Structure 1
Amino acid sequence: MEPSLQTEVRSASEEAAAMAARLVLDGQPVAVPTETVYGLAADATNAEAVARIYAAKGRPSFNPLIVHVPDVTAAQQLGAFDAAALSLAEAHWPGPLTLVVPKKADAGIAPLVTAGLESIAIRVPAHPVMRMLLEMAGRPLAAPSANASGKISPTSAAHVKASLDGRIALILDGGQAKRGIESTIIAATDGTLRLLRRGPIDVPGALASDDARIEAPGQLSSHYAPGKPLRLEATHAEADEILIGYGDVEGELSLGRDPVTAAARLFAALHEADASPHPRIAVAPIPGDGLAAAIRDRLRRAAAPRP
């Protein structure tokens, strides 16, 4: 993404948070402090808003994103908490703990947020500025670290400005992040507690996960892939294929005509194609750099032979 915006840094105040909330509701990401690191927050129910996070960060992988909510009640509207997960939530929220739980069918979260998975990563942040933004926006917020892909996580507004200047409209300056490292991530999806990422909170009894599945940020294996063979760079559908089109290549399904729209539609289109009666899936070429390259990378992972 070429810098094209005038990035404003504003001291975190009620007026500045209201401005940030308006941008969020307009589908734009904003940088906001949390107690861990600065996050790049967007409306988690708006797929194109979430795609703009990836566009601003550069050429990322489509890992699941953490969804930030104001309290445990809001978290339970998005995910299913067993007794162990609920106990952790009540003990450590608000705070730097992320819980990965089964996603509820009616959660209303954009598929891009969860990378097409049936689990969801949720956190209730403690930082007053992030909490103010959550209250004013009235939406769950997806918020990875507010830095260009591959760069060091930001712990100040100056770090964000150096990394994302011209790529986002607003940075809320709430001073230095207190913790300076990302949240602990615990998965509670199968009756056990599994440690997916170490962080500020130690959870006794959580088993270090050696599972190859991607469930949360900070893991490196393959992501959700359809159960059907996937052919890339397709300009037409073979007799047994459903074609996911892009740009001038028309298909039964479409990713649109620009990378932001394509990223927003990617996982929903893959799920729909996987559920279709066609035994194979074809996807049109996605030319370009930045976000388009990230989409191609995600598709190559989805098309890779299973071990």
Structure 2
Amino acid sequence: MNRISNLERLKEKTIGIEHEDPNLTSAMERRAMIMSVADSNAIEGIYTSEERIAGLVSGKTAPRGHDEEEIIGYRDALRYIHANHEKINLDKETLLEIYHILMSHTGTEDLGFKTRDNVIAERDAKGDLIMLHRTVPADETEWCIDQLLGAFWEARNDLEINKLLLIPCFVMDFLRIHPFIDGNGRMSRLLTTLLLYQEGYDIGRFVSMESKINSSKDLYYDSLAQSEEGWWDNECDYNPFISYFLDQLFLCYRELDLSIRDSFKSRRPSGRIDEYLRICILPVSKKELCNMFPEISETTVERTLKRLLDSGIIETIGSSRSTRYIGKK
């Protein structure tokens, strides 16, 4: 539960962060969009060149070939979620609508739930087949989706259940059902972004969760495999995939914090410590502040910290040598 409490605190720290440093957050939003589109597709073996991806995401470059049609479909679906997450209701119609957007440029006619059975093909980095995973038969898919959505909303309305933990559980069940003939992995990541938004975690605007997954694919597939064992007998253990999900979510916040640090390092000394402590996401020690701002004396850093503490602008975490500082929200 410590990880969950920490993530909830990080969520609160980032509320309104775009107003604190609009230049930085605007640049991060553009970068996150490009990386999310590129990496979510890359996980599925869908690629284009680095030179073309930015143009495809911005709409300045027209798609060439099937892979790029898949890529701009993900772009459109992700844009839709970023723009409409507050009014989207997670139901069967929403799943079909997002899937329709995802596949809208590919010319596919299979825009509903699958009408024929499929399997999950797990491949290594070279593209060689490792294992085939069984999925729900086509004629049971819609019923299973109804059950999944019903169970999700029942749990979400239970005040004793932490809502953040429901997201990886929903995603894992969705992947095991595999409701569409194609695009299930990308759909699962779009739904992850949507559900995070709806629980107040808008980190996906600034840092790509898809990139975290792509850079840890082995852990991703291993945690899924561990959690899915026993799924067909209703005896699976969601904890491995929950743990993986929470780790990657924290890494997104850490990347945001590092970007803020890098931004402040390039600014003029006057007022920078005050500004940084107001906006930083993770607690920082006096030593780290001195390293960040080497042109400011340790005495001045100490004096600034005391002033900010006395005025109630920042607070301490830990004690003695482990003391760290963070702005109050």
Q: TM-score range by the shorter chain?
A: under 0.3
Relative contact order higher in (CA < 8 Å, ≥ 6 apart): 1
Structure (1 or 2) with the larger CA radius of gyration = 2
Larger strand share, 1 or 2? 1
User: How high is the TM-score relative to the length of structure 1?
Assistant: 0.26
TM value normalised by structure 2 = 0.24
